[in-house]
Structure 1
Amino acid sequence: MGRVAIRWHRPIEGDIKTLRITRKAGKWYASFACEVEETPLPSTGRSVGVDVGVNSLIATSDGELIGNPKWYRDGQAKLSILQRTVSRRMKGGSNRRKAVHALQVHHEYIANQRKDFLNKLANTLVLNNDLIVIEDLRIQNMVKNHNLSKSILDGGWGYFAKRLSDKAVEAGR
């Protein structure tokens, strides 16, 4: 492979164990898995219950409501234009390849918005609370309801629960 230029977004902590190189929407990403020492966060003495929903993304037991930004629904108009463009291009053509790339970029943009928001939200909850209880939902079954599926998937309930759990374990909560 040879030498590759990398744009670092933070210094590497600990010992590098594995490197994973992936390509998404024409961009290359390097992900380093490192072994670091656990440093538990100081105790806050607070606990919170979290309820996920369609209208407000989460409602906490403290009475705080976090609205649902609806990333997919906001980007849906542009997605439909891009998908129409792809369908009108000849299969195997270079213009179709460019149109598919533009569609991939927009899908990645929407996914990145969702991931960024949910990571920050999970981080805030973990920093401010010692005990976090989240509603145990069978998301896979709920998505089968065609009236709710788009809103549930747009909210990223499963991703949020996973990130919240992972961050809590990392913080020793």
Structure 2
Amino acid sequence: MIWLKRLVVVSLLCLIGVATWLWLTMLSPWFYERPEELPDIEQRTHQVFVYGTLRYLPIRWVVMGTSGSPKPARLDGFERQGLDLSRNADSHVDGLLLTVSPEALQRLDRYERLGIRYERVEQTLADGSTAWVYVRLPMVSELDIHPPAHQIALVTYD
């Protein structure tokens, strides 16, 4: 009988750990600040194409607090590579089209770490409608970026 009690305690601790991790990463006020350079979210209904973890109803409920009224959708000219999309004219990605409020879009931005991990771009879907699509930002180490001249600090010695 002691093994059953231990199993229950370990299961509860795991469940509490997962719930805490989900809250910290998706809903808490810590660990993400929306970059200031991002434009404000328009106060209207938005269409969002999802192709990864957000295809699953429990994840959408935790992240957005709603199902998003999902409909099957297809994004032509792209292929899925893990958590990212890459252009491929001969391929497509199947996913869901969600209808979300500005508040839900803000919560999606937080979940996707908009401006840090993903960018949100507008794309035309196979049916001709347009929707926001989250695409991973390139790794900084893979980019050949030079700061604009106004960001270069000059050091002078007197």
Short-chain TM bin: under 0.3
TM-score (norm 2): 0.26
**Structure with the larger strand share:** 2
TM-score (norm 1): 0.24
